[in-house]
Structure 1
Amino acid sequence: MLVLPSPGSYRSTMGRRVAATGVLIMLLAGCSTASGGAPSTSSANPPTPLQAYDRAADPVARQFDQRERYADCGSVVFEQGPYPGLPDGPLSCMRRARAAKATAELRVTRPTTEGDPIVTYFRVLGDGQVEVYADNTADSHGPADWTREMRLCVPDHEVLGQICRAS
């Protein structure tokens, strides 16, 4: 005669735990590899490398390449660390263009936290706006694309704040 434990009894609960543990062990055993730890790959479906950045397929990069050329206020490269501010020469160039309602462009390179260079182009337009292009393609931890935005001259940005302040 087979005697089953009553539902909710200690033996019933222990039996379910043992069964659940057995199922878990079998599932984990199915996840192990035959080669002692190194996952195997099928030659039919080899892993593919990350897609390379295709500049021609990026509409913002193409727009940047076809942009109208403005007066060149130079290029500034910053090292890792706090923002030290723009040097006097490029800053004066951008402020003069803005005051004269003329156009000018400044290239600023700053590293990401990981040290990848992000190149940003600040373009003063004759109407008081600033066009900002950012080349994020070297950012190994970011979107690897180009961005563009039109900004009013407001002091909410380190570089724009400097350009927009009266000299």
Structure 2
Amino acid sequence: MGEAVVVQRLSYLALVMVVLSACGGPDTSDAPDVATAAAVEGSSTAIEDCGTFELSQKNVDLPEDAATCFIDAAQAGRPARLKVTRPTTEGDPITSVYEAGVDGGVEVVRDSRQDRFGEQNVSRRTCTGPVSRRGLIDFAQCSEPTPVES
């Protein structure tokens, strides 16, 4: 291959790289973090977002449609995510993030670091058999919680 052809191809490649670097991708700063999680895992399967809820002392029950969304997805083997923050008796927030996998298993990450009278840690457990019970997501079986490094 002649030197002129190599220089021409390198010039073309450099031009393409400049054009591509000038083109910004979509602004994802407001995108849900579940979309980010799917991209990080390299999954082509979309994660169903069943919602993010901050419950209060007076409103302690998870909306039934959110529970149904998550449980139906888990039972069907569709990846899904649900985030629920509930106050303790004293009003301190405890956040639980439920993620259903394609195998129907559920990973539950519980963050109680803001609970002044509790364990103040982040823990993870894996569960099976999700059901809605008294405004909560409950499970037929769960592993013992293990600490998550923060």
For structure 1, the 5+ residue unaligned runs are: 1-66, 163-167
Q: Which residue of 1 aligns with 2:89?
A: 113
How far apart are 1:142 and its partner, in Å? 1.8
Question: Identity over the aligned pairs, expressed in percent?
Answer: 33
Partner AA of 1:109 in structure 2: T
Cα shift at 1:81 = 5.3
1:124 corresponds to which letter in structure 2? A
After superposing the two structures, state which structure 1 stretch, 94-103 or 137-146, moved more: 94-103
Q: Does 1:78 align with 2:59?
A: no
Aligned match of 1:26: none
Three-state SS of the structure 2 residue aligned to 1:113 is coil
The match for 2:73 is: 97
Does the 8 Å contact 1:153/1:160 carry over to 2? no
* Aligned-residue offset at 1:137: 1.2
Larger Cα-atom Rg: 1
Q: CA offsets, 1:46-73, max 9 Å, x none?
A: xxxxxxxxxxxxxxxxxxxxx9443221
Pairwise CA RMSD: 2.7
Matched, 1:149 2:120: no
Answer whether contact 1:78 1:109 (CA < 8 A) is retained. yes
Out of 104, 113, 123, the residue aligned to residue 128 of structure 1 is 104
Residues 108-117 or 98-107, more deviating: 98-107
Q: Which amino acid aligns with 1:135?
A: D
Q: Which residue of 2 aligns with 1:160?
A: 137
TM-aligned CA deviation for residue 100 of structure 1: 2.6
> Whole-Å Cα distance in 2 between the matches of residues 99 and 129 of structure 1?
9
Deviation string, structure 1 residues 133-152 (Cα, Å, up to 9, x no partner): 01111111122210100011
Secondary structure at 1:122's aligned position in 2? strand
Query: Taking structure 1 as reference, are residues 73 and 120 closer, same or farther at Cα in structure 2, changes over 3 Å only?
Result: same
Counterparts of 2:77 and 2:112, CA distance in 1: 29
SS at match of 1:161: strand
Deviation for aligned residue 1:76: 1.5
List aligned pairs for 1:17-32, cutoff 5 A.
none
